[in-house]
Amino acid sequence: MPHHDLVIIGSGSGNSLLTPELEGLDVAIVEKGTFGGTCLNVGCIPTKMFVLPADRAVDAADSHRLGVTFTTPTVDWPAIRDRVFGRIDPISDGGEEYREGQEHVTLYRTRARFVGERRLALDTGEEVTADRVVVAAGSRAVGLPLDHLREADPDRGIHTSDTVMRMGSLPRRMLVVGGGFVACEMAHVFDGLGVEVVQVQRSPRLLMAEEEHISQRYSEIACARYDVRLESTVTALEPAGDGWRATLLGPDGEDVLDTETVLLAVGRRPNDDLLDVWNAGIETHPDGRVVVDAQQRTTAEGVWALGDISSPWQLKHVANHEARIVAHNLAVDLGRVDGPPRSNDLGPVPHAVFGHPQVASFGPTTAELEHDGTPYVSYTQKVGDVAYGWALEDETGLLTVHASPDGRILAAHMVGTQASSIIQPLIQAASLGQTVQEVARGQYWIHPALAEVVENALLGLPLDG
């Protein structure tokens, strides 16, 4: 039975924790799927590479408001797809080849499940043990409890985000089921590239986890672009010709929709169940996430966890930060570095939705602040009311900032052009403890750059004194 100093389950962010401080350990990496994990292969990176050409197409269609008119763009789907994966696939292959070539690393290209404390059974039939284990096995897309929608079937046109980006050709129509960030980003991509998109969302707005007026504004923009069915559900899906016939139940009753392709984007669940983590004494939350403490330790001795399998955020930048925490704490545990272990206390966690326009946020929403009884003040700045907003002819962008009455930045929520970048100064300020006044008046703001949206939002806050 092979024994290793360290076993890492998952080749995404878990692969990055092999720092110089851990040099020379006998390490095993267990990976059944594509090497490199979700973000590289089917998540953050390829999706945003598809978002960009869709952005270009939507901007071109909208540019008549600036006095410029383009002909309808020609979309070469194979060229778009192959540009994306022509860059990504070699990175995955190269990462796998690099690890396989390292003297002290063993790569098991199979599935593993716990059968005891730090003891794993592989699908190959052998078992391995380790002094320490890091569980970084991620999450997976889920389906619906309906015939034909329980899981992906790409050969028949039923996709999740794992498969939809590798389609051989663009369908004429796509039914997107879901209203979260994956559904909204993919609906934007395929509508932008000329597919007739119908998006079905059971709630009254898209992006329900966002600040309510940001969610409402994004929903209004999406509804003006393509067919969005709010407060609606898919109740049945049946084969019809070369595609599918979906039955939708909405506020006005039942409707029937024919579609070539269905994208299931209704959520993801941690992969704890695929690993039988309970056999190792690893506790989980009711939603399946592995329980970890502030140092990313699980409830089992010598086992750490990071990323989607344990985090409520399901964000790559969070998983990368957690990998750095685990790498340091492993080195401390091994006596390779001095000092105490590190805790995961970086501060507010930001996220973004790369739709059109973008949505970005960190910190509590208005509803959460009021629920918790937190004193706060707010100000909402329209993008169209700053000079660069005039240039953009922006009619929809908003930035809302929440602060304590004495000027501590608590949260920011934005929908608008490049929101994911515009909000970053506020993330930094909140993380470093800067006050509203320090950020607004303690530096120059380039005029007439779009960042003046941030400056004006801060100056608009009705602070005490």
pLDDT tens across 272-316, in order?
Answer: 999 999 999 999 999 999 999 999 999 999 999 999 999 999 999
Q: Could you tell me if 373 and 422 lie in one domain?
A: yes
Q: Could you tell me if 29 and 92 lie in one domain?
A: yes
Give the end of a domain, one of 280, 299, 333: 333
Q: Could you tell me if 50 and 103 lie in one domain?
A: yes
Neighbours of 249 (CB within 10 A): 17
Q: Is residue 369 part of a domain?
A: yes
The pLDDT of residue 1 is 86
Neighbours of 175 (CB within 10 A): 28
The pLDDT of residue 186 is 98
Q: Could you tell me if 262 and 289 lie in one domain?
A: no
447 is catalytic: yes
The pLDDT of residue 165 is 98
Choosing from 64, 285, 371, 447, the catalytic residue is: 447
**Per-residue pLDDT in tens (0 to 9) along the chain, 465 residues:** 899 999 999 999 999 999 999 999 999 999 999 999 999 999 999 999 999 999 999 999 999 999 999 998 999 999 999 999 999 999 999 999 999 999 999 999 999 999 999 999 999 999 999 999 999 999 999 999 999 999 999 999 999 999 999 999 999 999 999 999 999 999 999 999 999 999 999 999 999 999 999 999 999 999 999 999 999 999 999 999 999 999 999 999 999 999 999 999 999 999 999 999 999 999 999 999 999 999 999 999 999 999 999 999 999 999 999 999 999 999 999 999 998 999 998 789 999 999 999 999 999 999 999 999 999 999 999 999 999 999 999 999 999 999 999 999 999 999 999 999 999 999 999 999 999 999 999 999 999 999 999 999 999 999 986
Q: Could you tell me if 118 and 7 lie in one domain?
A: yes
Task: Supply the CATH number for residue 437's domain.
Answer: 3.30.390.30
Q: Is residue 110 part of a domain?
A: yes
Give the end of a domain, one of 240, 266, 292: 266
Provide the whole-model pTM: 0.96
The pLDDT of residue 325 is 97
Q: Could you tell me if 197 and 233 lie in one domain?
A: yes
Q: Could you tell me if 281 and 252 lie in one domain?
A: no
Extract the tokens encoding 266.
Answer: 């209704």
Q: Could you tell me if 395 and 450 lie in one domain?
A: yes
Tell me how many helices (H) and strands (E) the chain has: 13, 22
Task: Supply the CATH number for residue 91's domain.
Answer: 3.50.50.60
Within 13 Å of residue 108, how many CA atoms lie on the same side as its CB? Answer: 25
Asked whether 347 and 383 are in contact (CB, 8 A), the reply is: no
Q: Is residue 351 part of a domain?
A: no
The pLDDT of residue 347 is 84
Extract the tokens encoding 427.
Answer: 């993330």
Extract the tokens encoding 39.
Answer: 């973000």
Backbone φ, ψ for residue 211 (5° rounding)? -50, 135
Q: Could you tell me if 36 and 118 lie in one domain?
A: yes
Which residue shows structure tokens 């100093």?
5
Give the end of a domain, one of 209, 237, 266: 266
Q: Is residue 146 part of a domain?
A: no
Q: Alpha helix (H) ranges present in 334-393?
A: 366-372, 387-392
Structural domain tally of the chain? 3
Asked whether 29 and 135 are in contact (CB, 8 A), the reply is: no
Strand pairing report for 233-240 and 243-250: antiparallel
Q: Is residue 128 part of a domain?
A: yes
Domain range for 365: 357-460
CA distance 463 to 457: 12
Residue environment code for 295-314, b if the CB has 16+ CB neighbours within 10 A, otherwise e: bbbbbbebbbbbbbbbbeeb
Q: Is residue 393 part of a domain?
A: yes
Q: Is residue 303 part of a domain?
A: yes
Extract the tokens encoding 177.
Answer: 């089921």
Q: Could you tell me if 328 and 397 lie in one domain?
A: no
**Distance of alpha carbon 319 from the chain centroid:** 11
Q: Is residue 364 part of a domain?
A: yes
3-state secondary structure the chain: CCEEEEEEECCCHHHHHCCHHHCCCCEEEECCCCCCHHHHHCCHHHHHHHHHHHHHHHHHHHHHHHCCCCCCCCCCHHHHHHHHHHHHHHHHHHHHHHHHCCCCEEEECCCEEEEECCEEEECCCCEEEEEEEEECCCEEECCCCCCCCCCCEHHHCEECCCCHHHCCCCCCEEEEECCCHHHHHHHHHHHHCCCEEEEECCCCCCCCCCCHHHHHHHHHHHHHHCEEECCCEEEEEEEECCEEEEEEEECCEEEEEEECEEEECCCEEECHHHHCHHHHCCCECCCCCECCCCCCECCCCCEEECHHHCCCCCCHHHHHHHHHHHHHHHHHHCCCCCCCCCCCCCCCCCEEECCCCEEEEECCCHHHHHHHCCCCEEEEEEHHHCHHHHHHCCCCCEEEEEECCCCEEEEEEEEECCHHHHCHHHHHHHHHCCEHHHHHHCCCCCCCCCCHHHHHHHHHCCCCC
Q: Could you tell me if 130 and 274 lie in one domain?
A: yes
Q: Could you tell me if 248 and 293 lie in one domain?
A: no
